[in-house]
């Protein structure tokens, strides 16, 4: 049986693709595996490059499809996967030496349904480790304990990439098409159904931080993350109400962070739409009614709901004061 299926969506990343695939091949020399390259209607020659790579590498399969976005490409790829585990990897990212190997060893030894690792933010001139605090590899039960760690965000986050996921789970829980931050709608469901979740003490992925990527283009659709969090809140209230306030605190801070991005990057018409959308989330989810919020979070939410100009001026003043105190 094939042990691992690596699903790599490909869209206009010709300059990064070989690096990505070479890093996968280097990690998988002692296992049975497949690499599924999902060409999502690329227009820069990435699709042809995928075919060229598959001609010389027997483990690589290319799936061509019309452009449907990242979620659609992942869903298309995982539908064709046959491995015991699925590993999502974005085509402009690449693997850290021995990181995926550490995840696979943990999966084999412990039989976990999900295995998560650390990662690097890979900038043009430096790298930053996501969790730079020392910790040992550990395992928790799926469900409440695993979801608590997700909300805390210390050991793993929503990102689809960088995790080993048992194929049955990956094929059961697909990504919502047409959404940004699609994994925000997805990973809590994986953890809910997992019996065992392992966190390995190893960086696995170099997460590329490039100016042309989705992460660097703030727009109205970035607020999709709030809809994903609201959907997760409904899920928690149904299955794990004890975690609801912790998640609402995370939502509140996310609203605060996005308020600044709205003020800074969106133009007037989009800004009005975004503010209205954000305020609806705050009100509908009762984010202000949460004893876990600190005084600054409460103050900022009050300003956001009353006057975005007041919030913007207060935030600028806070930044100036912090610089002076430094």
Tell me the average pLDDT across 189-207.
Answer: 98
Residue for token pair 């490409």 = 73
Helix (H, G, I), strand (E, B) or coil at 237: helix
pLDDT at 215: 45
For residue 135, the number of C-alpha atoms closer than 13 Å in the C-beta half-sphere is 18
| 3-state secondary structure string across 265-321 | HCCHHHHHHHHHHHHHHHHHCCCCCCCCCCHHHHHHHHHHHHCHHHHHHHHHHHHHH
- Of 105-119, 181-195, 204-218, 285-299, the range with the lowest mean pLDDT is 204-218
pLDDT in tens, 72-94: 999 999 999 999 999 999 999 99
Task: Calculate the alpha carbon distances from 52 to 29, 66, 191, 278, 323 in Å.
Answer: 20, 19, 37, 46, 53
Q: Average of pLDDT values for 167-196?
A: 97
Closest by Cα among 75, 70, 80 to 41: 70
Q: How far apart are the first and last CA of the chain?
A: 58
Interval 28-76: pLDDT, tens: 988 999 999 999 999 999 999 999 999 999 999 999 999 999 999 999 9
Q: What b/e string do you get for 146-169 counting C-beta neighbours within 10 Å, with b at 16 or more?
A: bbbbbbeeebbebbbbbbbbbbeb
Distance CA 270, CA 154 (A): 33
Handedness of CA 116, 75, 212, 230 (dihedral sign): negative
Within a 13 Å sphere around the CA of 275, how many CA atoms are in the beta-carbon half? 20
Residues, the chain, total?
326
In this prediction, residue 322 has a pLDDT band, given cuts at 50, 70 and 90, of confident
Report how far residue 113's alpha carbon sits from residue 117's, in angstroms, rounded to the nearest whole number.
14
């Amino acid at each position: 049986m094939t042990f691992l299926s690596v699903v790599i969506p490909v869209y206009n990343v010709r300059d990064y693709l070989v690096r990505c695939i070479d890093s996968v091949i280097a990690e998988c020399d002692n296992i049975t595996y497949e690499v599924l390259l999902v060409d999502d209607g690329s227009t820069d020659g990435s699709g042809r490059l995928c075919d060229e790579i598959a001609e010389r590498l027997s483990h690589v399969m290319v799936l061509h499809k019309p452009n449907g976005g990242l979620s659609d490409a992942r869903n298309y790829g995982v539908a064709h996967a046959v491995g015991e585990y699925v590993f999502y990897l974005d085509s402009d990212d690449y693997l850290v030496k021995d990181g995926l190997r550490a995840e696979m060893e943990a999966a084999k030894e412990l039989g976990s349904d999900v295995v998560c690792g650390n990662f690097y933010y890979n900038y043009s001139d430096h790298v930053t480790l996501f969790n730079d605090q020392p910790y040992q590899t550990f395992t928790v039960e799926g469900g409440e304990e695993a979801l608590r760690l997700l909300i805390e965000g210390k050991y793993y986050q929503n990102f689809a990439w960088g995790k080993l996921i048992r194929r049955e789970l990956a094929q059961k829980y697909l990504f919502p098409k047409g959404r940004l931050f699609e994994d925000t709608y997805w990973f809590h469901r994986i953890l809910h159904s997992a019996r065992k979740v392992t966190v390995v003490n190893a960086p696995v992925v170099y997460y590329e931080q490039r100016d042309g990527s989705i992460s660097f283009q703030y727009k109205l659709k970035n607020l999709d993350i709030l809809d994903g969090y609201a959907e997760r809140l409904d899920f928690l209230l149904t299955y794990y109400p004890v975690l609801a306030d912790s998640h609402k605190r995370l939502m509140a801070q996310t609203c605060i962070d996005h308020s600044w991005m709205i003020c800074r990057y969106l133009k007037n018409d989009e800004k009005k739409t975004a503010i209205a959308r954000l305020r609806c989330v705050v009100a509908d989810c009762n984010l202000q009614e949460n004893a876990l919020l600190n005084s600054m979070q409460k103050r900022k939410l009050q300003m956001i709901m009353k006057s975005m100009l007041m919030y913007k001026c207060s935030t600028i003043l806070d930044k100036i004061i912090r610089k002076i105190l430094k």
